[in-house]
């Protein structure tokens, strides 16, 4: 655990008592602060009280009179589409609002670091798609190279749950826009921007607000190195803002759409081959085509970003390649879950938006596509252009019929449930086909999370192919 620094003998309010909220309360206690906790869910409050924490309604008059800060869990809005009333009360009382990410960055470094030979580093990864795989891949390669490393944030452990740094430690953080938009302290050594596509727009007041939330990781923190995916206009703009000149190698540009040239530091992938160029000369390359855990262009983009980070950390290309070869992929992200009768079954339940689904559709041939769920803003009409390899779509979700109608030019069957969709796909699949779950929608119309949806898919595949 990372004890929170700077609030000794002070009261700090914690709003939201899920995983990050409870970790925050414990870390505040370890840092000799008093956590005043609140959650609208009485069961969550009861669990906190069982651990000895004080719970108090933060909406009562005078609740913030002796509070030094309010720490808000990621799912609680502080501005758009409307601020939580507790956040409003804190701001009206002049109380600073922060989150666990801000507390981590103000607390991770300690005076004990003066005794370390190699300073610990923090790598922070954000973006719309691929940040989980990129973070896990960096962590995996570092483990393969026998470097001390921890994985946390939006993946793995909560940021305040990790262990204090050891000599040469590298902490890899996956950070969502919910986390970067509010943190008062953001000081990673290396920051990564994978890509940008519309997502969470209601929470950020539109695309500009969404990009601004991601951009804070770079503008507020001033990382020593920035790895930027430049295949969208926002990434290219961000790289230009951070770079002082064309040869400025503090910015590493990443692409899977174009060969990058010039005097700077570039990493790109074309036709399955990753290339690194520095000062106009090739410095490394990897054939990604045979790496089973990284299928498709979207995973090649993740590989480019992870490669750039690992090179910044001093690893040789061949060491990185060996780490890539042993990477098994992440659950619910292009995860091969079964092969039966010549048919491959792939779980990409994490493809919760249109761009992620497009990437998944581009990674496989002869696809029987299970899709549908709770649509996000903008609909799914754009998916038809990416569905060239789709033999047939099997649509699930409460609004399956409406979803299917948007898939112009694609044969689609309304199945509604995962059980029916898998059954139909198994019955009709031929040798060489891929049955792919890539919903292009949120899961909350039928499931508690994308993980639950993926688990249901895997269970049905096992039951119907076993």
List Cβ neighbours of 348 (8 Å cut-off, separation of 6 or more).
Answer: 332, 333, 334, 335, 356, 357, 360, 436, 437, 438
Instruction: Provide the CA 400 distance to its chain's centre, in angstroms.
Output: 27
Distance (Å, whole) CA 302 – CA 211 = 19
390-395 long-range contacts (CB < 8 A, ≥24 apart) are: 390/361, 391/366, 391/367, 391/433, 392/368, 392/425, 392/428, 393/369, 394/368, 394/369, 394/370, 394/420, 394/421, 394/422, 394/424, 394/425, 395/370, 395/371, 395/421
Binding residues for ATP, as ranges, are 127-133
Binding residues: 127-133
């Amino acid at each position: 655990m990372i004890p929170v620094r700077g609030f000794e003998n002070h009261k700090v309010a914690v709003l939201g008592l899920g995983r990050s909220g409870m970790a925050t309360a414990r870390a505040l206690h370890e840092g000799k602060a008093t956590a005043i906790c609140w959650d609208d869910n009485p069961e969550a409050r009861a669990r906190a009280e069982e651990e000895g924490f004080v719970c108090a309604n933060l909406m009562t008059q005078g609740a913030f009179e002796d509070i030094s800060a309010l720490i808000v869990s990621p799912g609680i809005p502080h501005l758009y589409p409307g601020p939580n009333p507790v956040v409003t009360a804190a701001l009206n009382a002049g109380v600073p609002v922060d989150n666990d990410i801000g507390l981590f960055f103000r607390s991770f470094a300690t005076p004990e670091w003066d005794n370390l030979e190699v300073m610990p580093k923090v790598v922070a990864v954000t973006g719309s798609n691929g940040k989980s795989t990129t973070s896990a891949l960096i962590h995996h390669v570092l483990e393969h190279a026998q470097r001390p490393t921890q994985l946390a944030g939006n993946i793995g452990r909560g940021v305040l749950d990790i262990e204090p740094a050891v000599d040469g430690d590298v902490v890899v953080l996956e950070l969502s826009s919910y986390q970067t938009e509010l943190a008062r302290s953001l000081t990673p050594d290396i920051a990564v921007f994978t890509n940008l596509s519309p997502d969470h727009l209601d929470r950020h007041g539109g695309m500009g607000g969404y990009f601004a939330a991601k951009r804070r990781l770079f503008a507020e923190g001033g990382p020593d190195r920035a790895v930027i995916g430049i295949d969208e206009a926002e990434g290219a703009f961000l790289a230009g803002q951070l770079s002082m000149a064309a040869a400025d190698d503090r910015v590493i540009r990443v692409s899977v759409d174009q060969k990058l040239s010039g005097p700077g530091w570039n990493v790109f992938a074309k036709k399955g081959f990753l290339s690194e160029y520095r000062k106009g000369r090739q410095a490394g390359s990897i054939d990604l085509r045979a790496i089973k855990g990284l299928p498709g262009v979207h995973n090649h983009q993740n590989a480019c970003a992870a490669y750039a980070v690992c090179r910044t950390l001093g690893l040789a290309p061949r060491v990185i390649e060996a780490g890539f070869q042993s990477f098994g992929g992440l659950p619910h992200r292009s995860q091969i879950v079964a092969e039966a009768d010549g048919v491959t079954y792939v779980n990409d339940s994490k493809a919760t938006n249109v761009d992620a689904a497009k990437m998944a559709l581009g990674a496989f041939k002869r696809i029987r596509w299970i899709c549908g769920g709770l649509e996000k803003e903008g609909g799914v009409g754009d998916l038809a252009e990416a569905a060239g390899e789709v033999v047939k779509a099997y649509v699930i979700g409460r609004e399956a019929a409406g979803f299917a109608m948007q898939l112009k030019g694609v044969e689609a069957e309304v199945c509604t449930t995962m059980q029916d969709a898998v059954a139909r796909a198994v019955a009709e699949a031929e040798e060489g086909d891929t049955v792919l779950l890539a919903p292009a929608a949120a899961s909350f119309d039928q499931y508690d999370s994308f993980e639950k949806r993926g688990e249901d898919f895997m269970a049905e595949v096992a039951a119907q192919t076993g």
